[in-house]
Structure 1
Amino acid sequence: MTQIGERTATFRVTSPADPTRSFDVSWAALTDVGKRRAVNEDSVVAHPPIFAVADGMGGHAAGDVASDAVVKRLGAVGDAPFTTGDVIDDALSQALTDIDLVGDATTLGTGTTVTGVALSLVDGDPKWAVFNIGDSRVYQFVNGALHRLTVDHSVVQELVDAGLITAEQAETHPDSNIITRAVGFHEKPVPDYSLLELQAGQRILICSDGLTKELTDHGIAHYLGREGSAWDAASALVGAALTNGGRDNVTVLVIDVATADSDATRDN
């Protein structure tokens, strides 16, 4: 398991197009090996402008090395206030080179999911760029409602999309752990991207499937809505996943956005 950046911190985002429009962004990152795994193959990066979780492929050799490569390459993008999809794509391509060096030395190869958000500019205004490869997820919780922002790259998601099984059946389907896209295995990383408004009052959750295996969307919404701080929310989510079985590594990254406070910590 690799963690890039602080476990919890606050920084300021100001719109270049409108310097009077500023936000304070706080986050908390937490991970646990779970109750059944010997090694934590999840990794996390919380280094503005990029926040992401990578879940090394379970059942494959050196999954922890694969997730480590991704978060290190994404973390190297830090120290700039904003980034672009091209920069993220380049970082993932570099991570693929790192991963394949390890994968070539194993029988099955190795890979990782990756999902997250990055601060980007659209016409001079800050937005969240949401990206994902695999079945780790990004959610938004705002005004008491939970919205999933990513679509799993998995066999069961394809079955759901085709109308062959329901979302509820997907949770217990025997192929629920098989993903259709990853960073690794000599395949060019191809993230899905979408844009999300940066707004005061929003809470963003980035998580590995160790959380979503143990909590339904209803349960996730309960803890995101109940807890006050990002750290309290992250702790409650991980604790609930462990209580419900902890069958996999579980990693969560909670991000809160608020109207700028003149006394807040300024990192950029």
Structure 2
Amino acid sequence: MAGRRGAVLSIESTSVQDYVKAIYSFTEWQGDAMTATHLAARLSVANSSVTGMVAKLVDLGLAHHRKYGPISLTSSGKALALAMVRRHRLLETFLVTELGYSWDEVHDEAELLEHTVSDAFIERLDAKLGRPRRDPHGDPIPAADGTVHYPPAHRLDDLDDGHAGRLVRVSDDDPDVLRFLDRNGISLDDDLLLAGREVGVRLRLRLGAEASAPHLAVDTALARALWIESTASHEGCTISSGTC
């Protein structure tokens, strides 16, 4: 009994919750393989700390990992990760819509709160907010049963010149990106068009559906943070319909 109790407490620990959430979030949109090095960078911890914690996750039945190989979640690990992601994104939504936080301020605040509130609080918060489908950055909020609905979106730097669509997700990894978008009046659901590429690593965005809309030059690092649900291109095809 004592051993089982210890396992339950370990699964509920803050560190375990943070690790499974980080693994899930890293692989969520592109399916990139998570390595120990990636995990250490994402959580700002030493590689040695990651090695020990990943071994613990494997022992708890939350992750799969072979030495020097990628780290993936088991079904139990994914369920725990989705529960933590749900908490985090609902709290971010609450902070923006109810307390007036800006979208570049909420991540760290939600990181603190997600470990302290109860499941009952999260369910009441979800109802109070009208059961939102996405957080302030466009990331989908998992339902209570763990289902997640993603828009048919593609990263801006993966699109061909001339593609147009709505901005439906912005990575919150770098708050400076969010502040840059704010300064230029760009927010979720805005119409954008990849007008072309300039010499070097800059892309030209048209900020609006009209041909007369202003343009803005962005670097590829910022373009990697923007996800577009395509509506049209210069040849009249759409990614979401599968005709491009």
Query: How does the TM-score come out when normalised to structure 1?
Result: 0.30
Structure richer in helix, relative to its length:
2
RCO higher in 1 or 2 (8 Å CA, sep ≥ 6)? 1
Structure richer in strand, relative to its length:
1
